[in-house]
Amino acid sequence: MKNAIYAQSGGVTSVINASAYGVISKLNELAPRTRIYAAQNGILGMIDNKIYDLSRTQKPLELLLESPAGMFGSCRFKLPEIDDTDFYEKLFKILDKKSIRYFFYNGGNDSADTCLKVSLAAKKFNYDLCAVAIPKTIDNDLVLTDNCPGFGSVAKYVATSVKEAALDLKSMCKTSTNTFVIEVMGRHAGWIAASAELANSIETTYVHKILLPEVRLDEEKFLTGVENDISEHGFCVVVASEGLKDKKGNFYSESAVADSFGHKQLGGVAPKIAELIKRELSVKYHWAVSDYLQRSARHLTSGTDMKQAIAVGKVAVEFALNGLSGVMPVIKRISNDPYRWEVGEGALSEIANREKKVPVEYISNSGFGVRPEGKQYLLPLIQGECFPKFADGLPIYDQLDLHLA
């Protein structure tokens, strides 16, 4: 008997559970005798032998399609190199006791590194295992794939939020606040900040300045632009990526706290930018940080995002059952209008620990906006509504009953 285990990793999204549904439903279809497990809190659950037996779950698996965040728990954990014999022999011993031969790891860049290490270690230690990564990251920075499940919904949320905030600001700017700064996620790649451009139209500008990690901040040029926007429109909306860099290429704001992969915790860009504007232009401001609100906003999930999240989960199963390991399903764009896409295959050796940034050709000449080519790329990813079920005026978000094996 060949059994399977699924695990979630890294920052969660509004559709990561949909990929889990894709995996489980496809396994039930193609390999109905396979027992399916899910690790508690990602790879840590496999290391600590805290593993859910999904055959004991009584509630319908369709609940995975309704609820945001990671229903099985996630983690950020860096695996040792594959020459750590004790570690990997212990890991494979835990998996072997449950006859696990298929491993599906749902995450982003660091998770791809984890899955690749497990795949390589399995070959080195002669353990029969197909390890397949499933793409997921709101940062949209995985290479080889056109876009990443999780991003389209965040883009939809951010564009909607800044449009609504801009209308609020416009209503009050005559006698009250006339500058609003909102900080969004994005360490080295500014895809989320760039998506704010979707709020703008030919007729109306809702977002005036977008600060990307790809463009070092020229404070003088920025302040002149803000002053001009206030003069022309009466107000200015600024969307800043947390990974914004100063003229020297250093993070504009970071803390001393780092995760197991060595990534410094970012945050604090919005108040610093707002204070800069106040100090130099003497205007009244408000600032906000979208933070976790953007990641799991299931009430505003993109229909495209949901479809793609399910699809990559299903294709991951097809890869594993065909004996592939060290690979990831990747989304390939066929056309923009009409928007058509398919799922292909990408090697983890070419994906892990690499980043796809916003290309220069998508960034406006000023460095504070996104060109039409960028909007053309972004727009299909936010199409379609996929509302959860509601009760008493709120989303239900019911959870599966999970039982440790």
Same domain, 66 and 35: yes
Residue 284 domain-assigned?
yes
Answer yes or no: 139 catalytic.
Answer: yes
Helical ranges in 191-268 per DSSP H: 191-194, 219-233
Same domain, 266 and 305: no
Residue 84 domain-assigned?
yes
**Contacts of 203 by beta carbon, 8 Å cutoff, 6+ apart:** none
Same domain, 133 and 18: yes
Same domain, 93 and 61: yes
Residue 224 domain-assigned?
yes
Angstrom CA distances, 116 to 72, 109, 123, 130, 171, stand at 21, 11, 11, 10, 52
CATH number at 259 reads: 3.40.50.460
Q: pLDDT value at position 254? A: 65
Residue 229 domain-assigned?
yes
Q: pLDDT value at position 283? A: 93
CATH number at 91 reads: 3.40.50.450
Same domain, 158 and 293: yes
Same domain, 168 and 228: yes
Same domain, 204 and 309: no
Residue 350 domain-assigned?
yes
Of 298, 315, 333, the residue that ends a domain is 298
Of 234, 263, 298, the residue that ends a domain is 298
Residue 368 domain-assigned?
no
pLDDT tens-place values along the chain, 405 residues long: 899 999 999 999 999 999 999 999 999 999 999 999 999 999 999 999 999 999 999 999 999 999 999 999 999 999 999 999 999 999 999 999 999 999 999 999 999 999 999 999 999 999 999 999 999 999 999 999 999 999 999 999 999 999 999 999 999 988 889 999 999 999 899 999 999 999 999 999 999 999 999 999 999 999 999 999 999 999 999 999 999 999 999 988 865 455 555 555 566 899 999 999 999 999 999 999 998 999 999 999 999 999 999 999 999 999 999 999 999 999 999 999 999 999 999 999 999 999 999 999 999 999 999 999 999 999 999 999 999 999 999 999 999 999 999
Same domain, 189 and 219: yes
> CA-to-CA distance for 383 and 400, rounded, in angstroms?
28
Segments forming the whole domain that contains residue 221: 151-298
Residue 374 domain-assigned?
no
Same domain, 40 and 107: yes
Domain count, the chain: 2
Same domain, 217 and 117: no
DSSP 277: H
DSSP bridge partners of 38: 6, 52
Tokens of 66: 């309704």
> CA-to-CA distance for 244 and 222, rounded, in angstroms?
13
Place of tokens 């860009």: 269
Whether residue 287 contacts residue 270, with contact meaning beta carbons closer than 8 Å, is answered with: yes
> CA-to-CA distance for 404 and 37, rounded, in angstroms?
9
Residue 55 domain-assigned?
yes
DSSP-assigned states of every residue in 350-382: GTTT---PPPGGGB-TTSSSB-HHHHHHHGGGG
Place of tokens 């285990």: 5
Same domain, 275 and 341: no
Whether residue 181 contacts residue 276, with contact meaning beta carbons closer than 8 Å, is answered with: no
CA nearest neighbour of 187 among 132, 261, 133, 237: 261
Same domain, 7 and 95: yes
Give burial (CB, 10 Å; 0-12/13-18/19+) of 128.
middle
Active-site hit among 110, 113, 139, 141: 139
Whether residue 355 contacts residue 109, with contact meaning beta carbons closer than 8 Å, is answered with: yes
DSSP bridge partners of 254: 266
Tokens of 134: 């499933």
Q: What is the pTM of this model?
A: 0.94
Q: pLDDT value at position 27? A: 98
CA atoms within 13 A on the CB side of 354: 11
